[in-house]
C-alpha cells in the first residue's frame, strides 16, 4: 500500500514539474504599424495604403498581414519645427495597420512595408526588426517605418507616342508629390524651390541632357520643353531630388520621332 501511494505521488510530482517547465500561456499583444513618408506625413488610404507583413525574424513565420488605412495625420504634429525628435507624431487620423498576436514568449519580429499600393511606379519595400514581449502592446505612435521617395507620374508625352518629322520640341509634364500624396509647390510646406525636378533625356541610348521642369500653376504639376533635333527612340526619365535629405523619386516614358521614310 505504501509503495502504491509513493508511486502515485511520484507521478503527480512529475506532472507538476512538467507543467512548470512547459510553454507559458500565450498573451494577446497588439502591434500598430505606421508608415511615414520621408520628410512628410503618413501613407494611408489616399495612396492605396501600404501592405504590411509581420514575420518571426528567425523562423520566417508570417504572423499577420494587411494594409495601412486612414489619413495622412495632423500636419502640425508631424511637421513640427520645435517639438524635438521625441515628440509624438500620430493621432487618430494617422493611417495604421494593427494586428493582435498571441505571444507565449518574446519574439524578434520583422515588419515589412510595401507601397504606396496605388502608385506602383513609386512603390518600394522597407523593413525593420524589433523584439516584442508578450502582453506589451506597441501602441501610440506605434512601430513607425520611414519610406523614402517622391511619387512621380509622367503625364506627357504618353508612352510610345510617335511624333512626326519636323517637330522642334516636345512637352514633358509630370505630377510630383511626397510618398503620402502631400502636394509639392513653390513656397509650400514641401517647397519645390528646394528640389531638383528635371527630365533626363536620351536618344537611341545616348544622353542628350537634363532639362528643368517648372511649376505649372497647379499644386504638384510641373512641365518643360525638350528640343528635338533628329529622329530616333527617345527615353525620358523625370526625377525629383531633394539635396537636403537625398530624397529621390522618378518615372519614365518613351516616344518615337519618325524619320523621312517612316
pLDDT digit string (tens) for 67-86?
Answer: 999 999 999 889 876 655 45
For residue range 13-54, list pLDDT tens digits in order: 444 444 444 455 889 999 999 999 999 999 999 999 999 999
> What's the rounded Cα separation, in Å, for the pair 227 and 59?
56
> What's the rounded Cα separation, in Å, for the pair 33 and 129?
12
Q: Which stretches in the chain have pLDDT values below 70? A: 1-24, 81-86, 164-166, 260-262
- List, in sequence order, every residue forming a beta bridge with 97; answer none if it has no partner: 33
26-147 maps to CATH 1.10.150 = no
Task: State the span(s) of the chain assigned CATH 2.60.40.10.
Answer: 150-257
- Residue 206: per-residue pLDDT: 94
Residue 22, judged by CB atoms within 10 A of its CB (0-12, 13-18, 19+), counts as: exposed
What is the pTM (predicted TM-score) of this model? 0.84
Of 61, 56, 59, give the one whose Cα is nearest residue 109. Answer: 56
The angle subtended at Cα 161 by Cα 158 and Cα 166, nearest 5°, is 120
> What's the rounded Cα separation, in Å, for the pair 49 and 190?
21
* Nearby residues of 52 by Cβ (< 8 Å), 6 or more positions away: 33, 35, 64, 65, 66, 67, 68, 97, 111, 112, 113
- For residue 215, whether the previous peptide bond is cis, meaning omega lies within 30 degrees of 0, is no
Q: How many CB atoms lie within 10 A of CB 197?
A: 22
- Residue 80: per-residue pLDDT: 74
CATH of domain 150-257: 2.60.40.10
Amino acid at each position: 500500500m505504501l509503495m502504491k501511494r509513493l508511486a502515485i505521488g511520484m507521478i503527480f510530482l512529475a506532472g507538476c514539474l512538467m507543467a512548470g517547465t512547459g510553454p507559458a500561456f500565450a498573451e494577446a499583444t497588439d502591434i500598430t504599424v505606421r508608415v511615414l513618408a520621408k520628410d512628410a506625413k503618413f501613407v494611408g488610404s489616399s495612396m492605396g495604403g501600404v501592405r504590411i507583413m509581420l514575420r518571426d525574424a528567425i523562423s520566417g513565420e508570417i504572423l499577420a498581414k494587411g494594409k495601412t488605412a486612414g489619413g495622412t495625420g495632423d500636419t502640425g504634429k508631424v511637421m513640427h519645427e520645435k517639438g524635438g525628435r521625441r515628440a509624438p507624431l500620430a493621432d487618430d487620423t494617422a493611417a495604421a495597420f494593427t494586428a493582435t498576436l498571441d505571444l507565449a514568449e518574446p519574439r524578434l519580429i520583422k515588419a515589412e512595408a510595401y507601397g504606396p499600393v496605388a502608385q506602383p511606379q513609386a512603390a518600394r519595400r522597407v523593413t525593420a526588426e524589433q523584439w516584442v514581449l508578450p502582453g506589451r502592446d506597441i501602441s501610440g505612435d506605434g512601430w513607425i517605418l520611414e519610406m523614402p521617395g517622391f511619387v512621380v507620374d509622367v503625364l506627357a508625352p504618353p508612352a510610345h507616342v510617335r511624333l512626326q518629322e519636323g517637330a522642334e520640341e516636345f512637352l514633358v509634364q509630370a505630377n510630383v508629390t511626397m510618398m503620402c500624396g502631400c502636394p509639392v509647390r513653390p513656397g509650400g510646406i514641401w517647397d519645390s524651390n528646394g528640389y531638383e525636378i528635371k527630365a533626363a533625356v536620351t536618344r537611341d541610348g545616348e544622353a542628350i541632357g537634363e532639362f528643368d521642369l517648372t511649376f505649372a500653376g497647379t499644386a504638384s504639376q510641373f512641365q518643360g520643353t525638350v528640343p528635338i533635333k533628329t529622329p530616333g527612340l527617345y527615353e525620358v526619365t523625370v526625377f525629383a531630388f531633394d539635396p537636403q535629405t537625398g530624397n529621390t523619386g522618378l518615372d519614365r516614358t518613351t516616344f518615337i520621332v519618325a524619320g523621312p521614310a517612316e
